[in-house]
Amino acid sequence: MPIPAKSHGCTWHWLSRQDLPEVDGLIVAEGHFGDATHHHDLAALEAAVIDDMVKETETGVVLRKPSGTLIAYAWIRLPGPGEAPHRLRLHGGCHPAWRDEGVQETLVHWQQERALEWHHDHGDAGEPLELSMVISSSNLFLAETLSGCGFRPQKWYHAMRRGLHEPLPGGSAATPGVHLEQFGPEWSEPVRLLYNANAGDPSDIVDPEAWAWGLAGAGVRDNWSWVAVAADRAVGWVLNAETSLAGERIGWTEYLGACPQWRNRGIYHPLLVRSRDSFLQAGLSSAGIGIDTESGQGARPYQELGYTGVDSMVWYVSHPGIDTIGPAQTDEQQMGRI
């Protein structure tokens, strides 16, 4: 079991539920110093810690000063039910005061080594390990760190938001031949099949169990989510949830899509209009959406609908080989010290 290669004068410990309040404080500290952070996925981390998955799999560590103060953490989110077993997501953070000490690089190297071990024992031997970390496009420090560890930018994710009191430009005109129905159990499977039909990569296809797990994990609200129906068949969908930004309740569009035959026919507009109406009736303050693209562009159509950028995230990806595991460990790294 590889353990972080350097202690930086501090002590490593396995991540536990008792660390969560301090992890949250660490993230607040990153924001306080004005440093754009990356996607920490604290809700998923909390669920994994409560279920003891992090402890059992030894996929999370924290670094503490001699005084006991937590200054860094790293967590590997393992694949959920039905997810591709070779794709692992990395999360973590380091207090800004310690970044120049090389702590972030130590965290990433440990995650690579531990992920390789896990993949060797549990992954698909026919698929190379894929590690990814999502960071802000303005986080130059972390971008440089990841690039130095063999990660490369693969896709961009634009987070955008707009107020609810102003209607979307273009009014609420419906797309000819299409009507909207509220999402619910009866539409879940048709939408899943439509989602899979639009998957750009076969490994992105999800089975019913993974689909249900993803909807629950995202907190999708059926009464805020809508299906575009033509000739009694689902041709588009918008699945929405609630999130919080700076203390504000925001309606967040988690999934938005349409079958290829209905793209560029104005189907997204009525879905987003109905979403806006649902958020407004629920007393939310604004609407948000995330857009995946293969470049730094792609947000312009949503800007025309009144959305403004909150952040642009970059998906950094690495495919480490088994020969990258470092054999050297110092005495202070032995399991008894963690």
Cβ count within 10 A of residue 319: 12
Confidence of residue 29 (pLDDT cuts 50, 70, 90): confident
- What backbone phi and psi angles, to 5 degrees, belong to 102? 85, 15
Segment 231-238 mean pLDDT: 95
Domains of the chain with CATH codes: 11-150+320-337 (3.40.630.30), 158-314 (3.40.630.30)
Between 251 and 4, where is the model more confident? Answer: 251
Q: Determine the average pLDDT of the residues in 44-67.
A: 92
What pLDDT does residue 236 have? 95
Q: Considering the chain, what percentage of its residues have pLDDT values greater than 70?
A: 90
Q: What local confidence, expressed as pLDDT, does residue 58 receive?
A: 94
Nearest CA to 11 out of 75, 74, 68, 58 is that of: 68
Residue 309 is predicted with a pLDDT of: 86
Confidence of residue 334 (pLDDT cuts 50, 70, 90): very low
pLDDT reported for residue 56: 92
Query: Tens of pLDDT along 97-134?
Result: 898 899 999 999 999 999 999 998 887 767 889 999 98
| Model pLDDT, residue 297 | 62
Q: Count of alpha carbons within 13 Å of 132, Cβ hemisphere only? A: 18
Q: Higher model confidence: residue 287 or residue 204?
A: 287
**Mean of pLDDT values over 286-301:** 80
Place of tokens 């035959």: 261
Average of per-residue pLDDT across 2-29: 91
Q: Which of 289, 283, 293, 295 is nearest to 308 (CA)?
A: 289
What confidence tens digit (pLDDT) does each residue in 163-218 have? Answer: 999 999 887 677 889 999 999 999 999 999 999 988 877 777 899 999 999 999 89
- Specify whether the CB–CB gap between 60 and 73 falls below 8 A: yes
HEC per residue, the chain: CCCCCCCCCCEEEECCHHHHHHHHHHHHHHHHCCCCCECCCHHHHHHHHHCCHHHHHCCEEEEECCCCCEEEEEEEECCCCCCCCCEEEEEEEECHHHHHHCHHHHHHHHHHHHHHHHHHHHCCCCCCCEEEEEEECCCHHHHHHHHHCCCEEEEEEEEEEEECCCCCCCCCCCCCCCEEEECCHHHHHHHHHHHHHCCCCHHHCCCHHHHHHHHHHHCCCHHHCEEEEECCEEEEEEEEEEEEECCEEEEEEEEEEECHHHCCCCCHHHHHHHHHHHHHHCCCCEEEEEEEECCCCCCHHHHCCCCEEEEEEEEEEECCCHHHCCCCCCHHHCHHHC
Most confident of 12-21, 171-180, 243-252: 12-21
Residue 292, amino acid? D
Backbone angles phi, psi at 26, to 5 degrees: -65, -40
Q: In which band, very low, low, confident or very high, does the pLDDT at 331 lie, cut at 50, 70 and 90?
A: very low
Cβ-contact 178, 267 below 8 angstroms: yes
* Confidence bin at 37 (pLDDT 50/70/90): low
More confident residue, 25 or 322: 25
User: Is it the case that residue 161 has pLDDT exceeding 80?
Assistant: yes
Q: Does position 329 have pLDDT exceeding 50, yes or no?
A: no
335 pLDDT more than 60: no
Q: For residue 51, name the pLDDT band (cuts at 50, 70, 90).
A: confident
